[in-house]
Copies of this chain bind each other. A is one copy, B any other.
Amino acid sequence: MNGTGPIRVIPLGGLGEIGLNCLVLEYAEAAILIDCGLMFPEHYMLGIDRVIPDFSYLTELGDRLRGIVITHGHEDHIGALPYVLRQVEVPIYAPPMAAGLVREKLREHKLLDSSRLEVFRPGEEWSLGPFRIDPIHMTHSIVDAVALAVNTPMGTVLHTGDFKLDQTPIDGRASDLARLAEYGSQGVLLLLSDSTNVEQEGHTPTERSVRGGLDAVFREARGKVFFSTFSSHIHRVRQVVELSQAYGRKIAIVGRSFESSLKIATELGHLPVIPGLFVDPDDVSDLPAGGVTLLTSGSQGEALSALTRISMDDHKVKMLPGDSVILSSKFIPGNERVIMGMVNHMVRRGAVVYHQECAPVHVSGHASQEELKLMMRLTRPRYFVPIHGEYRHLVRHCALACEVGLGPENTFVVEDGHVLEIDPQGARIAGQVTAGRVFVDGKGIGDVADIVLRDRRHLSQDGFVLAVIGINQQTGDVVSGPDLVSRGLAVEEDVQLYLEEARGLILETLQQVARESRTDSLEVQEEVRKTLKRYFSKTLERRPVILPFIMEM
């Protein structure tokens, strides 16, 4: 430790949730951002398209922020880039596959020309202010994933990115354990390590282990094989390419995300170029069913995906009796019912469906407990902070660190917005910055707050009732209405009777109100609201949003 620090570590996302990964590293008067991911909305976030981190703190950093360094190309690590670039103007550094995907993304958002995107490869160090950044090759469920050794005058911060320790990866390029161990010998000040699978005992199986499960499907299949996984899972796709060749099947790609991913991966040499192997989906019907593999997007049952539409017979590609389907990915928690609904449709088409619940056609890309412990033993950090996990994952990962000999005083459960400060005197949580989740809904970023969601939730439960009343401002007489309109309350025919009765009730109520009160719109509004609320609660046991609208005439 030569510098006097402090080093400051400030997660803006991913420490308290799965997804949204985004972390600030500061030293002296400089800062870098590691990853900039999004999160898909939870069920209660009605109408929200995606969730991104709150970037307020980056604006505070201003010129001190020197760049954004990406560990790999998954959406939960790159997905918020188009949004952050509207707030800060800094270069992005990414490994090749991630860079390809980022480039696509920036092009879509019309940000490509105004952005600076640099590609780095493992072992190619570079400096950003006081940080000397050394990317280290790691195995994960996407090619070109890296860990980052960020060297500062105070010492080395090692950020694992997402990883598993696959000793027999498809391309033969295992994680660079030697480099990790070298850092361990030199001394690592702080290890930030992936917690996604910390609840899994043992060791995550190698990517190669799904080969048997996939081969079994191809061996038995007589009809078409529909194959689906995350489109960027190049090693999984490569296995399917090899199996299709071995079993004499042509491959058609159905789904835009697959097309774009495979194009990038092929250009980078991650997929072999085999003339004549790929065919146009339109030509599939000319081939024998047993001679076709379809790479199809939609393994999570996404509503508009190719696979969902095919399962519902709403696509030019047809699923027929005797076809096989492989859903080669984890069911993301919360998606199970939708996915299983899609599977029911496929079975109705006559297909046989293979998925995580019934066949060995998927393995995780994240390290389990034994690998996580090995990571700590190799890198021998002084301090430890678990990253990428919900609260319970972070707590569990700290417990694991203690099992391999780190002192509890040297492990920290840090959450989004916390500031971890390390200087020669030690490490501590030394404050808090603005952090949180920002909702993106259509073109709006952050204009849907909790109160709007609360309104949407309320509307989604029992709909609304609108009452328009015209009142003579002089006399307080009701001169028009009350006219009542509802949506989402009950079916039209049933509701008319209730609205009619409610209309009478409002008139009665208003008659009992003093004349001078009736000339006060706010008072009338309140009376109408109360009356309707009580009425619908008693008759229907429902609580629609009630909107009295008083016109002064």
CB within 8 Å of B: which A337-359 residues: 337, 340, 343-344, 347-348, 353, 357-358
Are B395 and A347 neighbours in the complex by a CB distance under 8 Å? yes
Q: Are B540 and A443 touching (Cβ within 8 A)?
A: yes
Query: Contacts of A488 on B, CB cut-off 8 Å?
Result: 46-47, 452, 455-456, 458-459
Residue pair B391, A344 in contact (C-beta under 8 Å): yes
Q: Is A432 an interface residue (CB 8 A)?
A: no
Q: Is A462 an interface residue, CB under 8 A from the partner?
A: yes
Residues of B within 8 A of A455 (CB): 463, 487-488
User: Which residues of chain A from 181 to 220 have any CB-CB distance to chain B below 8 Å in the complex?
Assistant: 199
Question: Are B452 and A490 interface neighbours, CB within 8 A?
Answer: yes
* A 528-553 to B, binary, CB cutoff 8 A, 1 in contact else 0: 00000000000111100101010101
How far, in whole Å, are A461 and B46 apart by their CA atoms in the complex? 6
- Residue pair A466, B466 in contact (C-beta under 8 Å): yes
Contact of A443 among B348, B459, B541 (CB under 8 A): B541
Cross-chain contact A547 with B485 (CB below 8 angstroms): yes
Residue from the list B340, B395, B464 in contact with A487, Cβ < 8 A: B464
State the CA gap A551–B467 with chains docked (Å).
12
| Complex contacts, A491 vs chain B, CB 8 Å | 447-449, 451-452
Most B-side CB within 10 Å, residue of A42, A443, A458, A487: A487
The answer, yes or no, to whether A333 is at the interface (CB within 8 Å) is yes
- How far, in angstroms, from A326 to B444 measured CA to CA in the complex? 43
A470 CB–B CB distance under 8 Å:
yes
What residue of chain B has the Cβ atom nearest to residue A494's Cβ?
Answer: B447
CA distance A334 to B331 in the complex (A): 11
Contact of A460 among B46, B336, B451 (CB under 8 A): B46
- Provide the bound-state CA to CA distance between A551 and B479, in Å: 11
- Which of chain B's residues have a CB closer than 8 A to the CB of A483? 549
- Could you name 15 residue pairs across A and B whose Cβ atoms are closer than 8 Å? A47-B542, A334-B337, A336-B336, A347-B391, A347-B392, A441-B540, A441-B541, A444-B490, A444-B494, A447-B540, A452-B463, A452-B488, A452-B489, A468-B468, A468-B551
Chain A residues with a Cβ under 8 A of chain B: 42-43, 46-47, 199, 333-334, 336-337, 340, 343-344, 347-348, 353, 357-358, 390-392, 395, 441-444, 447-449, 451-452, 455-464, 466, 468, 470, 480-481, 483, 485, 487-492, 494-495, 539-542, 545, 547, 549, 551, 553
By Cβ-Cβ distance, the 6 closest A-B pairs, closest first, are A442-B541, A460-B460, A47-B461, A455-B488, A459-B459, A333-B336
